Chain A
Amino acid sequence: MHDQPVRLSVNGTPIAATVEPRMTLADFLREECGLTGTHLGCEHGACGACTVLLDGAAVRSCLMFAVQADGTEVTTVEGIASPDGTLSPVQSALRECHGLQCGFCTPGFVLSLTALLRDNPEPTDAEIREGLSGNFCRCTGYQGIVTAAHRAAEAMRVADLQSAAGASPGQPAPVPE
């Protein structure tokens, strides 16, 4: 069986490698890129722990091969916080709302929620629950995670209002009704 060249961008860093075609994108990220934040729970698409963004779309990295990601831009949980370590609104909200306990499933939830709130900034409770249905949590439970999703959405709306009003990030946020 013949190895294949693959070039892609991972969290903004260009990567070139030669891989076995059977290597999943998840294994590539973990073993070739050393980015072990992408977790593998079931390895057959059920649990969602391995969710990453592929050209912005949330996908299961265990359900595609690294060779198929040739030429794409991949974002993993390592690429979600700011370079200075400031957590994203989704990450902050998960911490504040007890949206994680052991943390194994969290990277997948972070990526799914990041995509979900980008595409639907004002989701209803039902939309959040539907959007999170592809990610399993087996210890914390979903209430904290759903609460975190609402809080992250609110924080992102507030940040948008602030930037629209030209306010500096340090100012108190006008909270919408």
Chain B
Amino acid sequence: MKPAAFDYHRPGTAEEAVGLLAELGDEAKIIAGGQSLVPMLSMRLAYFDHLIDISRLGELQGIERRGQQLWIGAGTTETEVGADAQVRQAVPLLTRATPFVGHFQIRNRGTLGGSIAHADAAGEYPAVALTLDAVMEVLSPRGRREIAAADFFTGVWETSMEPDEVLTATRFPVWNGRSGFAIQEFARRHGDFAIAGALVAVALDDADRVSRCAIGLLGLGATVRRATAAEHALIGKPAAELVPEDVGRAAMTGLDDIPTDLQGSAAYRTKVGAAMAARAWTQAIGEAGAAHA
């Protein structure tokens, strides 16, 4: 349980960090909070000759409302995200997802960007980013670019970032109107990675019909997922006519790479996922229904 030896770098700016990353290549890895990386290093599941520490870069930290989006620096800790009043008001799904991320001692070090860049299929923040169609801001020696969440998560712990790119921030769209948000997940012990989970963001029109809807899934594939077909089928439907259990089952259609492991078979995960989606739907639609236009 001791990591292999590495050299440690603490650049003073994000530009410097990506410069180092480009120069050192595959042998280098970015470390922020380290709450996923350090266990992997300790168990020697990963080796790097160089770690580039970005956890102290002030330019990567902060929470800022920018029009209809909420900008959150990648280095902002999960504790800060979970406690922030602006996040609670503008992107309540993030606030509600935060208690599911590890334990409070983990959240004191772990960062929003680290969680998203690590791209665990059961990661709550990746799931929130995908559910809300967030935008990732990345930096490389070639400059800055943006990646839509739908194009970001590509495989097990894999993203569409180039090897010399660093995630610097995520922008979350702010939903207005009569909207509701919920996350439900099942884990054997609090703080464990969930066996399966679901997130729902839903908005209703004045006639209580579903006007906007997003269903995110975690632990139900190689990456976090969206239940796109189910979402389309729900648009325009009167909320009162929708049975949560049907919504939950519909959300499980089309999933073709549900993991089977010691924690449970794919069939079991599907049942758990459907139940979580149904619960999240009930909660989110209830909140949206209670909201005034």
Contact = CB atoms under 8 A, between A and B. Distances in A.
A68 B7 contact: no
B127 interface: no
A45 B108 CA distance: 13
Contacts of B55: 68
A2 B7 CA distance: 6
A90 interface: no
Given A21-B7, A22-B4, A133-B191, A64 B103 contact: no
Contacts, number: 92
Nearest to A40: B1
B159 interface: no
A1 B7 CA distance: 5
A51 B5 CA distance: 24
Contact of A22 (B5, B103, B190): B5
A43 B102 CA distance: 16
A59 B107 CA distance: 8
B142 interface: no
A133 B8 contact: no
Interface in A22-71: 22, 24, 27, 42-45, 48, 51, 54, 57-60, 62-65, 67-68
Contacts of B118: none
Contacts of B8: 2, 4, 21, 65, 67
The interface centre, meaning the residue of A2, A24, A44, A63 with most chain B CB atoms within 10 A of its CB, is A63
**Prevailing SS type, chain B contact patch:** loop
Contact of B39 (A2, A20, A22, A44): A44
B102 A21 contact: no
B106 A60 contact: yes
A27 B38 CA distance: 14
A48 B5 contact: no
B6 interface: yes
A127 B16 CA distance: 42
A79 interface: no
B102 A134 contact: yes
A133 B5 contact: no
B99 A130 contact: yes
Interface residues of A, number: 32
Interface in B1-19: 1-8, 10
A144 interface: no
A102 to B, nearest CB: 21
Contacts of B39: 44-45, 63
Contacts of A58: 104-105, 108
Contacts of B189: 133
A118 B287 CA distance: 33
A75 interface: no
A61 to B, nearest CB: 10
Contact of B108 (A42, A59, A130): A59
A133 B190 contact: yes
A24 B5 CA distance: 12
Contacts of B5: 1, 20-22
Interface in B25-61: 31, 34-35, 38-39, 41-43, 49, 51, 53, 55
A48 B5 CA distance: 24
B191 A1 contact: no
A113 B105 CA distance: 11
Interface of B: 1-8, 10, 31, 34-35, 38-39, 41-43, 49, 51, 53, 55, 79, 99, 102-106, 108-109, 189-191
